[in-house]
Homo-oligomer: A and B are copies of this chain.
Amino acid sequence: MSTQILPQSPKNVAIAGATGAVGREFISVLEKINYPIKNIKLLSSKRSAGEKMNFAGEEITVEEMNKDSFKGVDIALFSAGSSISKEYAKSVTDSGCILIDNSSAFRMLDDVPLVVPEVNAEDIKNNKGIIANPNCSTIIMLMAVFPLHQKNPVKRIVTSTYQAASGGGWAVMDELMQSTKANIEGKAFVPKELPFDYGFNLFSHNTPIGDNGYNQEEMKMVKETQKILHNNDIAIAATCVRVPVLRAHCISINLEFINSAPSVDEARDLLKEFSGVQIVDDRENNHFPMPIEASGIFDCLVGRIRKDISNPGKGLELFVAGDQLLKGAALNAVQIACYL
C-alpha cells in the first residue's frame, strides 16, 4: 500500500494547468492525503481563467498564469505541456519556488532529478529548483520492476504497453468516447486529436519515430528508466501502443536478470512488501491486473508473475496496471512534494 509522509509545516502551493486532466488529479490527491496547505493557487491559460473549482470544500477561482504568479509560492505542480513549463521555469525558480514538472521538458537534464519516490527519493535533494516527474509508462513499469531489481539486478526488459486515452488529456479521453459512440451508432467519425479512429481500435503511440525505429514514448521508457536507476547498462526494448481504455495503463513485462531469476514466490513477496504495489495474481479465478480496477486508486496492481519458459533460469514475466493520471502523473508529483 502507498503511504505518504506529509510535510510538518503548511505550504503555499500553485497548480499550473489546474483545469486539465492531471491538474484536477493534483487537487484530488492533495485533498485525499490531507497535504497541509497554507494557500493554494489554481493557474491556467487565459481560456480557462475565471472557472471555479473546489479545493477541500472551498471554492477557488482559476487565475490566468503570469510570471508573477509564483511569488510567495513554495511548490508549483506543473502539468500544462512542455512549452509552458519551459516558458515559466525561470519565473518559478527565481521566486524561490520549487517546480515539480509533469512534462518532458527537463527530464533528461543533468541537473534535474527525475524521480519515482519509491525508487530514487534520495535524488530529490540534488535539485536546483526543478524536479521532473517521469513519463507515465516509465513510472508504472518501474513500480513493478524496481522491487525485484533492487534485490536482484535486471539485465534486460522487453515490454509492450497497453496505454489509456488519458495520456493525451481530456480531449483524447473525450475523443475515445465520441469515436466509440459513433461506431456503436454506425455513424462516421472524423478524429481531431489523434491520427486515427480510436473507438474499438488500437495503434502505435503517435509520437515521432526516430532513426532507430522507436517512437519517442518508447525511448522515454528506455532513457528515463536508465536515469532513474542510475544504470545505463540495463537494456530495454519497448513497444508502446494506445488501446481504447480511459485512464489506466497496462504493461506486459519480460525480465532477464543478470543472475538467476527470483522464484515466483520470492518475486510475489518482494512486490507485496513494496509501498505502492498491490498483488492481483489469482490464477484460479483468472483475476489479474485490469484497467477498471487500477483506475482511481493510488497503488499499481501487479500480477501474471511467472517464470519465463523461453528463458529458463534467468527470465520472469509480469503484468502491471496503474492509473495514468495518479501514479503515472499527479500522485507521483505530489509524492515528490511530500519529500521536500
Within 8 A of B (CB), among A293-340: 303-311, 315, 317, 319
25 residue pairs bridging A and B, Cβ less than 8 Å apart: A158-B158, A158-B254, A162-B202, A162-B243, A180-B200, A184-B184, A196-B290, A200-B246, A203-B288, A204-B286, A204-B319, A209-B286, A212-B307, A212-B309, A213-B307, A213-B317, A222-B309, A235-B309, A235-B310, A237-B254, A237-B309, A237-B310, A239-B252, A239-B254, A239-B304
Q: Which of A177-235 contact B (CB under 8 A)?
A: 177, 180-181, 184, 195-197, 200-204, 206-209, 212-215, 222, 235
B residues near A303, Cβ cutoff 8 Å:
204
List, in ascending order, chain B residues with CB within 8 A of A105's CB: none
Is A125 an interface residue when CB atoms closer than 8 A count as contact? no
Interface centre among A160, A176, A201 (most CB of B within 10 A): A160
The answer to whether A98 has its CB under 8 Å from any CB of chain B is no
Q: How far is the CB of A3 from the nearest CB of chain B, in Å?
A: 28
CB neighbours of A24 from chain B (8 A): none
Task: A204 to B305: give the CA distance in the assembly, Å.
Answer: 12
Q: Which residues of B contact A317 (CB under 8 A)?
A: 213, 237, 239
CB atoms of A286 and B156 under 8 A apart: no
Interface residues of A (CB under 8 A from B): 156-158, 160, 162, 176-177, 180-181, 184, 195-197, 200-204, 206-209, 212-215, 222, 235-237, 239, 241, 243-246, 250, 252, 254, 264, 283-288, 290-292, 303-311, 315, 317, 319
Could you tell me the distance in whole angstroms from the C-beta of A128 to the nearest C-beta in chain B?
A: 31
The SS class assigned to the A binding surface is: mixed
A304 touches B204 (CB 8 A): yes
Set B206, B246, B283, B285: member contacting A286, Cβ < 8 A: B206
Set B160, B177, B264, B308: member contacting A184, Cβ < 8 A:
B177
Cβ contacts under 8 Å, A264 to chain B: 213
A208 to B157, CA, bound (A): 26
Neighbouring B residues of A156 by C-beta, 8 Å: 310-311
